[in-house]
Structure 1
Amino acid sequence: MIRKLEYSVMDVFAEKPLEGNPLAVFHDARSLSGDEMQALARETNLAETTFVLPSDDAEDERINGVQVRIFTTEEELPFAGHPTLGTATWLYSNHPTLRGAESITLRLKVGPITVRFEPCREGEHGVRATMKQNDPVFGKTHDRSEVAAALGLQVGDLSAEHEPQTVSTGMAFCIVPLRSIEVLRQLQISQREASAWLVKSDAKFFYCVAPTGQAEGPQWRARMQFYGGEDPATGSAAGCCISWFVRHGLVQSEAPVVIEQGIEILRPSRITAQANLENGEVRYVHVSGRTIPVAIGSFFLP
């Protein structure tokens, strides 16, 4: 018997269709094995693909959340930002009992993550949503010269004021502050050198950031190159990044910051992030953005 598997494509952290980071959301993956999910993620060939595992108990989903699994083309992830916002927004628009809910919780490998929704202003596309990430765990600080070599940069290309540091709100990123946006624009990470450094570190990926110098608009620009490609928008990394900013005094506690990403690969993305500093501890990490549905389709598997 042939299984028909319906999916939607959502552009996440997008200001209009065909921007941001595309995500494939499979509506009901209960018939799929983990290996089949991984194969479908390779088939979609997007940065991430999610698989909703709905329950027949609507009250349980309302209280405890909807189970979701997240895959890249290479592996399953415990948490990722744009898949969380994108999948929750699809549920907000389509779930039979959660449609239009004020908030929806996803049950991910990392634990429950709650997403809240707000209506877009007149003339805006899609749905604006905010996720509360886990409180950050600050890992090791790293030698600038070693990180520069792993990124194919000179040590002078990195910020002289702050060392790279690993931060995790569910996924560990090495936050690398660069000297200027010009350095960021020219970034071409050698995956062999970067992977060799990362496998020995406490970080999963690099997240490189630089100030835009703009009085208006996004204050920071970021890039995240991985698996030989580049991510247009990385919500999990943005949560780590705002945590790092607040801890080191680059951003005030509770101040919203706009991070732009994907500019260099023609997928402009806009991420808003903020975090609180309470008694020396960074807490209440929130990451926001807009999600726009752009496509629907079906796969047919035996």
Structure 2
Amino acid sequence: MKKLSIVQLDVFTDRALTGNALSVCLDGRGLSTEQMQAIARETNLSETTFILPGDPAAERDRGVRVRIFTVQEELPFAGHPTLGTAYVLHQQTGASEIKLELNVGTVPVRFEKPAGEPAFGEMTQKNPEFGSKHAIEAIAPFTNLSPSDFDDSVPIQTVSTGMPFTITAVRSLEKLRGLRVDVTRAHEYLAGNGGKFFYFVSRETVDPKARLHARMFFYNGEDPATGSAAGCCASWMAAHGVAASDEGVLIEQGIEMLRPSRIFVRATKKDNQVINVRVGGNCVEVLRGELTLAD
């Protein structure tokens, strides 16, 4: 029998039982892709990661190899698994910077721990690629919103810092909190228009300190904190004047799911280009255990 050490975290929060849960397999060497996918279905969280320790010299150069799985597929990049897995390695090593070698490339995560406060990690995502802009009339039919409920002062646009999200602004918090999406139709639309998922936002928020309230519907449910989408959103905010260059802002998410999350983002706008996209937050370890596999 093979035993795998598993750690479960809540990410983008400093309180257990909130934020976005993540399962981390501390040593996934020897597992096949099919086994990793089956384990992700077993944990049944939005994502499960597998740390694959390797040659120390290669890890110093490229980072620690990590693979990310949802219950349905492997992902090239995702935000909360990146932050959570880096946090586990930070706790193990004490290093202030952890580099992860993901399918999308190397992603650095830097940690600081102010006195009396939990550790805060901030990843630097890939520079954004700005894709198509979308008509409100194309998006509204697979939601319960009318065209007038969308915020037409900013564009609906697909942005990628490793995974493409279509950032879609809604005028009011009330409309966003009551939003319903036909996920099947939404995914069919995005498949033909360069996106992976929608990230719906409003400039009205629950927490007055937050710049945006966000929701992300995917597969058969909703995600309480989406770090990859938040990086795309930070890029979108900097590009379209919702946030100033290098301004640190808070995105709140997960409130409708009773899993409130706090995602801190910033991006640089220089010479009409957006670069240096950073996404950060806290993590809390909630349990440890072993998964037993038959030989």
Q: TM-score, normalised by structure 2?
A: 0.97
State the alpha-carbon separation in 1 of the partners of residues 170 and 159 from structure 2: 17
Matching residue of 2:240: 248
Aligned partner letter, 1:269: S
Aligned partner letter, 2:59: E
Matching residue of 2:185: 193
Q: List alignment gaps of at least 5 residues for structure 1.
A: none
State the alpha-carbon separation in 2 of the partners of residues 225 and 234 from structure 1: 10
Contact conserved, 2:206 with 2:213, CA < 8 A, in 1?
no
Contact conserved, 1:62 with 1:104, CA < 8 A, in 2?
no
Provide the aligned C-alpha RMSD in A: 1.3
Matching residue of 1:87: 85
Shift of 1:151: 2.8
Contact conserved, 2:7 with 2:285, CA < 8 A, in 1?
yes
Residue 42 (structure 2) pairs with residue 50 (structure 1): no
Shift of 1:215: 8.4
State the alpha-carbon separation in 2 of the partners of residues 215 and 291 from structure 1: 20
Contact conserved, 1:151 with 1:193, CA < 8 A, in 2?
no
Aligned partner letter, 1:36: Q
Residue 282 (structure 2) pairs with residue 290 (structure 1): yes
Contact conserved, 1:150 with 1:197, CA < 8 A, in 2?
no
State the alpha-carbon separation in 2 of the partners of residues 300 and 224 from structure 1: 33
Residue 38 (structure 2) pairs with residue 39 (structure 1): yes
Distance change in 2, residues 1:224/1:121 (3 Å): farther
Aligned-residue identity in percent: 48
Distance change in 2, residues 1:214/1:45 (3 Å): closer
* Aligned counterpart in structure 1 of residue 136 of structure 2, from 141, 144, 148: 144
Matching residue of 1:78: 76
* Aligned counterpart in structure 1 of residue 67 of structure 2, from 66, 69, 74: 69
Matched residue SS, 1:240: helix
Matched residue SS, 1:244: helix
Shift of 1:150: 2.5
Matched residue SS, 1:29: coil
State the alpha-carbon separation in 2 of the partners of residues 213 and 90 from structure 1: 31
Matching residue of 2:106: 112
Residue 260 (structure 2) pairs with residue 262 (structure 1): no
Q: Deviations over 1:127-147 (max 9, x none)?
A: 210000000000000011111
How many aligned residue pairs are there?
294
Which runs of structure 1 show a deviation greater than 3 angstroms over 4 or more consecutive aligned residues?
213-216
Worse-matched range after superposition: 186-195 or 63-72: 186-195
Q: Deviations over 1:167-191 (max 9, x none)?
A: 0000000000111111110011112
State the alpha-carbon separation in 2 of the partners of residues 206 and 218 from structure 1: 20
Aligned partner letter, 2:291: F
Residue 270 (structure 2) pairs with residue 278 (structure 1): yes
Distance change in 2, residues 1:215/1:146 (3 Å): same
State the alpha-carbon separation in 2 of the partners of residues 30 and 15 from structure 1: 30
